[in-house]
Structure 1
Amino acid sequence: MLGALTGIGLAGAAGLNAFVPMLLVGLLARYTTLVVLPGGWEWLTDGWLLTGLGALLLVEVVADKIPAVDSVNDVLQTLVRPGAGGVVFGAGSSSTTFAVDETSDLLTTQQWIPVLSGVVVALVVHLLKSSVRPVVTFVTLGVGGPVVSAIEDGTSVALASLAVLAPVVAVLLLAAVAVVLVRLVVRRSEPRRTSDGLGSVP
């Protein structure tokens, strides 16, 4: 059960930033005993891969802070973030972590289930994030975009870290993030009332 929660937390983090959870899991598995990856997932600890992920993370962090570029980046990340979510869900849910003493058996039978689950979780978070960001940029004339992006990056780091150390807390944080994003999306879709309250404008 905790293995699945770890996977959900990591996939949710990937929905906000694809490279944070992948890099975190790879580094922890390579240099610490907090994460022990099962057979078939050791490639996440490859030094060249980790270097590449670090470079991609740097590009992502910078691009996501630039108005207009952030929206283009979100479009490009529509495939990357869900894919990363599938990878970290599959690796994380089947690994031995600080919070999960026994390796989950999620991958011993239906191997595609955890990967697909991670894709879905990351995609939902990504779509909610992508729906809210243009509104923030427009309303704040571009000033709020970098601030929101920094919050998203920090939340991704927190989710990924908690997924390894405290999976239940990670899922609760992810649920809170989802509620906030959904409320913002709903508020965006509601018609604005005119000043006299008799009509609405698009």
Structure 2
Amino acid sequence: MLEALTGAGLAAAAGMNAYIPLLVVGLADRLFPGLLALPEGWAWLSSWWVIGIVAVLLVVEVVADKVPAVDSVNDVLQTLVRPAAGGLVFGSSSTASTVAVTDPAEFFASNQWVPIVVGAVIALAVHAGKATVRPAANAATAGAAAPVVSTVEDVGAIGLSLVAIVAPLLVVVALLALAAAGWWLGRTARRRRRPAERPATAGDG
């Protein structure tokens, strides 16, 4: 149960930023094995080569995601990357020993494709919500919301990744808060956008 929550939290974080949970998992296994220890089949995620590549990609993602219009293009490009990352972090963490899970369930170890698919679906759902809300927020604020919302997402991805490893039970609360925040942001953006569209519509008539 706890390993599933750990995987779900990391996968959801991947839906916001593909590289943050990958980097957290890799660094945790490499530097803090008492916090998270990957099984042998997933140990490549904590190799310095992989960590270095993920870190570089993270820098590119962080910069691109804060530029209006570019962030929407980036979301399109990330449509495959984020679910893939979600599958990787769910698959690896669900069979890993963590500070909260000392004996991962045998089910995940013997059915490794299950957590990968589940993680990809979770990440895709979060990504879809992000890709839907962001253009509306940009349109409602003339792009001013892009760096703010992106920074909040990055911080949220870091926090969710750490919570998933250290206190997986809190993942449920975090996911509910994430869903509520996405709903509120989308609703607010739509409300701000409508008044700006009405004068143009009236003028056309």
Please indicate, yes or no, whether the TM-score normalized by the shorter chain is above 0.5: yes
Q: Is contact 2:137–2:185 with CA below 8 Å preserved after alignment? A: no
Cα distance between partner residues in 2 of 1:107 and 1:170: 19
The aligned residue for residue 133 of structure 1 is 134
Within 5 Å, give how 1:181-192 maps onto structure 2. 181-185=182-186
Deviation string for 1:110-155 (max 9, x for gaps)? 2211000000000000000110000111111111110000000000
Percent pairwise identity: 48
Q: Which residue of 2 aligns with 1:199?
A: none
Name the counterpart of 1:13.
Answer: 13
Query: CA deviation digits over 1:59-104, x for unaligned, max 9?
Result: 0000000010000000000000000000000011110001112123
Structure 1 residues 55-64 or 100-109, which shifts more? 100-109
Distance of 2:114 and 2:64 partners within structure 1: 32
The 2-side partners of 1:21 and 1:105 are apart by 23
Which digits, 9 at most, give the CA deviation of each residue in 1:9-47, with x for residues without a partner?
A: 000000000000000000010111211111210000111
Work out the CA distance in 2 between the residues paired with 1:94 and 1:168: 17
Deviates more, 1:98-107 or 1:110-119: 98-107
Which residue in 2 is equivalent to 1:23? Answer: 23
Q: How does 1:82-161 map to 2 (within 5 A)?
A: 82-161=83-162
Gaps of 5+ in 2: 199-205
8 Å contact 1:67–1:145 — kept in the other structure?
yes
Are the aligned partners of 1:128 and 1:185 in contact in 2 as well (CA < 8 Å)?
no
- Distance in 1 of aligned mates of 2:6 and 2:89: 9
- The count of residues paired between Structure 1 and Structure 2 equals 195
Equivalent pair of 1:93/1:106 in contact (CA under 8 Å): no
Assess if the C-alpha contact under 8 Å between 2:136 and 2:186 holds in 1.
no
Match of residue 198 from structure 1: none
Query: Is the partner of 1:106 in helix, strand or coil?
Result: helix
**Number of the residue aligned with 2:181:** 180
CA distance in 2, matches of 1:184, 1:105: 40
For the aligned residues, what is the CA RMSD?
A: 2.0
Q: Is the 8 A contact 1:95 1:104 kept in 2?
A: no
Report the counterpart of residue 81 of structure 2 in structure 1.
Answer: 80
